Chain A
Amino acid sequence: MLKIKNLHANIDGTEILKGLDLEIGPGEVHAIMGPNGSGKSTLASVLAGREEYEVTDGEVDFDGKDLLDMEADDRAREGLFLAFQYPVEIPGVSNINFLKAALSEIREHHGQEAISAKEFLAMVKEKSALVELDGRLANRSVNEGFSGGEKKRNEIFQMAMLEPKVAILDETDSGLDIDALRIVAQGVNAMRDEKRSFILITHYQRLLDYIVPDYVHVLYKGKIVKSGDKHLALELESKGYDWLKENA
C-alpha cells in the first residue's frame, strides 16, 4: 500500500529525514514512536505533501503511484489522510461546507457522481456519532474554539467521512483523557478493515492498548532504527530510548 525507500528530506536547508525505509501493507497498523524532534511529524508532512519540505532523495510508492509526484490535494483524493498533530483553526469556513467540498472533489476525481444533500447529511450524522462529536461542532467553523480533545475527534470525524486508504495519525492521542482516547480508538477500530492501513505516530504505549498495532517502529534522527511487534512499545515504555540511541 505504501512503500517508502531511502527517503531524505530537508527543511530550510537542514536535513531531517536521513534515509528512511518503511513498508506498509494493506490493512496493517504501524505505530511509529521516537523521541521529540526525531522527525515523526516531518515524515507525516512529507507524505501529506507539505511544500516547505524538500525531498532530496528516495521514493514513495502509494498503491502503485508515485506519491512524491502528486500535489497535496491529489494525494488526499487518491486516499491519503493526515490527522494533524496541531489541527489549524479556520474562522469563517464551516466544518460541514468544507467537508462537503472535499468529498465532492474526491468523488469528482474518481469520476463518481456528486453526493446528494440527503446522503451527505446521513453520513455526517453517522460518522459524528461514531466519534461522539456534538452535532453543533460539525456546523461550526473548522476547529474554531474547539477544545484540544474536540479538535482531535474532529480529525477522526473527517477521516471517517473521507474514508482514506492510508491514514496517518500524528499524536492524535496526546493530551487526551482516557474517555476521549477510547472514543478516538473506537473511531479508528471501526474503520479498520483488510484494505485500509494506518500509521499511528505516538509517544504513549497506552494508545496501543486500544488500537493494537501489527508493527512498532522507532524513528530516531531521521531513520527507522528498530522495528518489532507490539511488545516493542512496552519495552520502550519501560526502558526509554537511550539503549537505542547508543546502538544508532
Chain B
Amino acid sequence: MSEIQTQQKTSFLSKFEAFQCPVYGGMIDLRRAESRAGLENMDLPSSRQELWKYTRTGSILNKEWKHVHKANELPELPQLPGNCYVIVFLNGVWNAALSSIGTPESGLKIYPLSKATDSELEFIQQRLGALTTETGHFFTEVNNAFWSDGAVIRVAQNAQVERPIHIINWVSGDQSATTTRHLIEVAQGAEVRIVQSFLNSCTTETMSNTVTEAHVSANARLTITKIQAEADQGHCFSREQVKQAGDSTVQINTITATGGWVRNDVRVDVEGQNCTTNLYGTYSPEGKELVDNHTVVDHLLPHCESNELYKGIVSGNATGVFNGKVYVRQDAQKTNAFQQNANIVMDDSASMFSKPELEIYADDVKCSHGSTTGQFDEDAVFYLKSRGISETNARRMLVHAFIGDVLDHLEEDVREYAASFLRW
C-alpha cells in the first residue's frame, strides 16, 4: 500500500472511529477488535481487485462521512400492505416512535440490539459476527468493526410467524453514514418472512452499510426480500450472510428499484443436506446509477438444490454488474444448481458486466449457468403501439414481462409493495 493509500484509509476509518459503538465485552468486542485490526492490513477497494472490478468506490472513500445521531425530522415511511411487524433504524439507530412491534406472537422475539436484555446477551455474544469473519471484504469489515445498532429476530422451534417482519433502514442528513447490523435466528422447523427496505432522504449524500447475519436451522424456512429505493445521492451497501442447516429452505429476493450506488453481497453457505436455496433479483438503473450484485452459494453437502435468477434493465449512462459464484464442493454430490442472469441494455451509453461462475469439484451433479445481454425488442414496442398503446405503456409492459419471472417469486403483499417503488 502506498503512503497516499494508507493516509486515505486512515482518514476514511477515522470517520467511523467516531461512531458510537456499544460495548459488550466478551466475544463481541473481541470480534470487533479483530476486524478493526484486520482493516489495518486490508487494501482499500479499487478496480484492481476482482471484487471491485467494475464498481467505482472513489465516490465513497474520500467523503466526510459522519454519524448523524438525530434525524432532523421523522420521515414518512412506506408501509407493507396488511399487518406486519415494523422495526425502524434511523441512521443506524433504533427508532421507537416509528417502529411497531407490539407484543410479538408466541415463538417470536424482535428487539433492537441496543435494547437486548441480559437473558439475550449469551445468544448475541455467541452469534453476532460469527458468520462474517474473514470475508476479505472491506465494507463488511467496516461494519464488523463499527456497527451501531440493528435488529435481532429470533424464531423459536416450529414457530410459523404469520405476519411479515419489515425492517426499515433509513438514512438522512448530509454525509450521513450508517453501520447497521441485523441478526436472525430461525430455529428448527420454524418459518419467517422478512422484508428489508433501504431508503434515504432524497436531498443529501448518504452511505448506508447494512449487514444481516442469518442462522437457519434444520428444516426451517427463511425468506428475505430486500427493497432498495434510495435516491440518486445514496450509496447503499448491504450484505446477507446466511448459514443453512439440513432440509432448510432459504430465499433471498433483491429488488433494486433506484439508488445512485448500490452494492449487494449475498452469501449462503449450505452446510446441510437436502437444502433449497433460491436467489432472485432485479434491477433497473438509469441515469448514472450503478447496481452491483455479487452472490455466492457454497454447496458443501449432497442432495441440495439452488436456483438463481437475476434480471436487469440498464439504461442511460447506468452500469449494472452481476457476479454470481456457485461452488459445488467435493462432497456435494447430487447437487442441482441453476444460475441465470439476463439483461436488457437500453442505450449504447449503458453498460452491463455479467460474470456467472460455477466451480464444481463433485462429479455427479446437475448444474447450469448462463448470461444473456440483449437490446430492447423495438419490433415488440412498435407492435404494441400499432394497437393504440402509448410508448410509455408499451415499454412498461415489456419490462414487466421481462422481469415478471423474478417478481413472480415474491409473495403477493411484498410484490405489491415492491411494485410501488419500481420505475417501470
B389 within 8 Å of A by Cβ?
yes
The answer for the CA separation of A169 and B415 in the assembled complex, in Å, is: 40
Number of A interface residues in the complex (CB < 8 A)? 31
A interface footprint on B356-391 (CB within 8 Å = 1, 0 otherwise):
000000000000000000000101101111111111
The answer for the CA separation of A62 and B401 in the assembled complex, in Å, is: 34
Question: Given A71-B391, A76-B388, A92-B402, A101–B397 Cβ distance below 8 Å?
Answer: yes
Residue of B nearest to A106 (CB): B388
**Do B401 and A102 touch across chains, with their CB atoms under 8 A apart?**
no
- Select one of B379, B388, B391, B398 contacting A77, CB under 8 A: B388
A206 within 8 Å of B by Cβ?
no
B404 within 8 Å of A by Cβ?
yes
**Do B379 and A102 touch across chains, with their CB atoms under 8 A apart?**
no
**Do B388 and A162 touch across chains, with their CB atoms under 8 A apart?**
yes
**Do B382 and A50 touch across chains, with their CB atoms under 8 A apart?**
yes
**Do A92 and B382 touch across chains, with their CB atoms under 8 A apart?**
no
The answer for the CA separation of A105 and B394 in the assembled complex, in Å, is: 11
- Select one of B386, B390, B405 contacting A48, CB under 8 A: B386
Q: Which A residues are in CB contact (< 8 Å) with B383? A: 84, 87-88, 90, 142
- Select one of B390, B397, B405 contacting A93, CB under 8 A: B397
B393 within 8 Å of A by Cβ?
yes
The residue in B377, B382, B385, B387 that gathers the most chain A C-beta atoms within 10 A of its C-beta is B387
Q: Which B residues are in CB contact (< 8 Å) with A73? A: 385-386, 388-391, 394
Kindly provide the distance from the CB of A162 to the nearest chain B CB, expressed in whole angstroms.
Answer: 7
Kindly provide the distance from the CB of A161 to the nearest chain B CB, expressed in whole angstroms.
Answer: 9
The answer for the CA separation of A67 and B253 in the assembled complex, in Å, is: 47
**Do B388 and A90 touch across chains, with their CB atoms under 8 A apart?**
no
**Do A92 and B386 touch across chains, with their CB atoms under 8 A apart?**
no
**Do B379 and A105 touch across chains, with their CB atoms under 8 A apart?**
no
Kindly provide the distance from the CB of A46 to the nearest chain B CB, expressed in whole angstroms.
Answer: 12
B400 within 8 Å of A by Cβ?
yes
- Select one of A87, A92, A109 contacting B401, CB under 8 A: A92
Residue of A nearest to B399 (CB): A92
**Do A92 and B390 touch across chains, with their CB atoms under 8 A apart?**
no
**Do B386 and A49 touch across chains, with their CB atoms under 8 A apart?**
yes
Ranked nearest first, the 6 interchain pairs of A and B with the lowest CB-CB distance are A92-B401, A76-B388, A102-B387, A72-B385, A73-B385, A106-B388
15 contacts between A and B (CB under 8 A): A48-B386, A49-B385, A71-B391, A72-B386, A73-B390, A76-B387, A77-B388, A90-B401, A92-B401, A92-B404, A105-B388, A106-B388, A142-B383, A158-B387, A162-B387
